[in-house]
A and B are shown apart, each in its own frame.
Chain A
């Protein structure tokens, strides 16, 4: 493997934390049973939160609209099972505060809304396809939850020639996309066909990290007679970050402050791809997703197909419960996921995983002075100077931080991970980014 790895494509910088995927990589996706209550937040995506369009007491079917999109960068929210709306009120949200949510008491029938119709992608125009994707509420399923239809609406002056499917899953622990590629390759291929039609691209690649040889093999076989390349990539975090993935596969570098469309590329997660396939061919809105429940704090790690709105506590219960008191709960991957205050929050469309750590797995090191060892600089995939920017950020020197390209930080956390002095580098840079944006808004 090491010989083969040398020739694999990748990006400069990055690092390889122990990936610990073995716990759940061989576990087939299981359907998560129906919880007693579903809390469906109206803010599950980047952009304006949806606006509730149901009231307490109303009966809804699975897939029925419960929140309408507000603006272009926003998506609608749907009921993830049939039942009664018991409340529309602020509930604890993974963001750490109470945000508006639609609470549904399932009736147990899990009946789909009648009249949801699929269509043949071949007979639909690109605009119709895009509208279906938007109406199905599809967002980036890798965890960033950026509305998919926005990415699929590039301006006229930015022609897109390459579509990249992100099956890298470089975050340690997570195996949801891995299982998806093994179990639903036909849905991925169906989604690719739809995306190809919308964007009219010349080249399509599926990027997969080399630590998933079975997925590479399976997709290579499935795409042998299609115009799709499967590109094995070096095992390195953050290989799945959009800009790093584009650089590794196409050799094009997204300019500072630019977007992938500036270099003619659109990247979609494989999970998003299956959701698009479901939305177009079967007419199903995005109400469930695959998530990996794992970590040393859970009895039996699993890959579950979960309904949006299922509480994290319920998910943990399906995996045999907790091993002792959890010291850290992370929604998403360990590098970029969000730490949670409690298990009393719902899973959302962006919940790619749930990680539980006990206190012996969460070493707390005291913060020390910067040693100027440069490990963060070597690890930084955005090729900026994390230690310098963080130091400026701490002194509130926003202009200097901006001059050192703080805005190019992708917040992957490699700097903080690699820092021997345990400095909160990415946290400080994120603060600087906020300050820079605030300053720009002020003008």
Chain B
């Protein structure tokens, strides 16, 4: 579904991604962890071309993402994205947030888009907020709306870029629960997170990154019990010890 082959990315002289090789199959849940500045978010943002790669090859859903002739809007329909800061549209209601892309991009009728939106709002547990504005919701509720917004496009892949990092601890659980449900339903997911409990429980595979490189790729059982790399061990000891 997603294949990175020898992908490199530079920001000017800064080498953000170094020789990335990574394949993610359909239905897989891959969790990317690592210290800040290690390139995790950049890696995920390359998948829907919010960031461009400098060299190498990146194929998503059979499409070469960085090919000049690629219709990027068409590819992006199939890739939902959830951001750290939710990025809901503040001037639109919850319902309008969710129906905008289905109506404008997929061309579905307003009625059908609303029904779909309500279905996903039920799914994330806040159908009663359909007519509220984002500013009236808690962080956890906003992020669940953002997930519903992504799902309403019926994507093949969902990307999560630190979806719980901006949430207060009490609401993290409700967002993770929604993500767990998605994972069990077979959604292909790429998740950047610092939630080790979620990674251990839900991931099919853990990817550990540091300084723009993938240092380790393993099943969660293996990774958390016996990290091979010294850097990964250090990272885990710091993050799990408190």
A and B are partners in one complex rather than unrelated chains: no
